[in-house]
Amino acid sequence: MASQAGPFPFPVQTRQFAAVIDDVHTEFVVMGYDNRVMVIVTQIGKLGSIIQAKQDISQDGFLKNSFSVKTLLGRRDEPLLEICARRLMELLATAGCRRPLLLTLGLKNTSAGTLKSVLELIMLRGKVW
Amino acid sequence: MADSALPEGVVEVAPRLKLREFTENAVDTIIHFQVLELVDQLYVWIGAGGARMESLHTAMNTKYDNLPVVATHFGDNTSDGAALAQRLSMRLGKVVSVSSSLPPGTPLMQAMAEKRLIEELTQASEDAPEEKADSVF
């Protein structure tokens, strides 16, 4: 539901979608910036926790097979959130995405089942990479 | 796409959050905006020349000070973005997250961007209540 103005193509690719996951209405907005992919997932109408994830680079500049995750704002008592960000970064990297990830999770339900569905939906509907 | 591709227990529905994307044509620059309306919160991205995300700041009102508190999550050494988040938060009474890639030391551009933002947000506040984010959740 993006409203655009002007004759220029808007430079950011966005995908917006929504679903009911385990009876909870969940909104998604995925934005493909030049240097980053931002994914907003919310069930509470707010951004919630903001988590950054990236693929590690070795000293000589090669991509390693490990990822770093950092919670910038929000819950630090729910490890599943960072695991979700790490897993999403891994999925993006496997799909050929070289940009780091910024994931915001404003969830009512942080069960493993919900998080798994969240990840699947993002990969199904949110391809901006 | 086939519905069988959706995970179990998941039903896809139409998205209802309002994402506004618009562009401001200044004399020698083009500034792009994204505004995502959430519940008592706003996410704003401002891009000048391209689609980079260089910084992120979040400002919110507290009872401890008249000025909203602002946190810089990453980027922006000049704190223009942080100041914008703070001013928007104070003006709108909401939590405001701003990502701005406007070049540093350009007060005129900052002012113009802020003016356009306020115009769009004022127009948005005149939307029907059923279009607001609170009705979604």
Residue A1 pLDDT grade (very low, low, confident, very high; cuts 50, 70, 90): very low
ipTM of model: 0.91
pLDDT (average), residues B34-53: 94
Residues of B in contact with A12 (CB under 8 A): 21, 32, 34, 45, 47, 51
Residues of B in contact with A125 (CB under 8 A): 12
Say whether A10 and B23 touch across the interface (CB within 8 A). yes
Whole-number Cα distances in Å, B42 to B8, B121, B126: 32, 10, 16
Tokens 């949110």 correspond to A126
Nearest to B53 among A6, A10, A36 (CB): A36
pLDDT of residue B137: 85
- The answer to whether B11 contacts chain A (CB < 8 Å) is yes
Residues of B in contact with A16 (CB under 8 A): 15, 17, 19
CA–CA separation, B95 vs B45, rounded Å? 14
Lowest mean pLDDT among A29-43, B3-17, B81-95, B107-121: B3-17
pLDDT (average), residues A2-6: 50
- Cβ neighbors of B83 (< 8 A, separation 6 or more) are B70
- The answer to whether B67 contacts chain A (CB < 8 Å) is no
Which residue would you say has higher pLDDT here, A1 or A124?
A124
Residues of chain B above pLDDT 90, percent: 62
* A89: its two tokens: 């970064």
Nearest to B21 among A3, A46, A50 (CB): A3
The DSSP secondary-structure symbol of B113 reads H
Residues of chain A above pLDDT 90, percent: 84
How many CA atoms lie less than 13 Å away from B27 in the CB half-sphere? 3
Residue pair B39/B32 in contact (Cβ under 8 Å)? The answer is no
pLDDT of residue B4: 54
pLDDT of residue A6: 52
3-state secondary structure (DSSP) of residue A24: strand
pLDDT digits (tens, 9 = 90+) for A56-100: 999 998 888 899 999 999 988 889 999 999 999 999 999 999 999
pLDDT (average), residues A105-110: 95
Residue B52 pLDDT grade (very low, low, confident, very high; cuts 50, 70, 90): very high
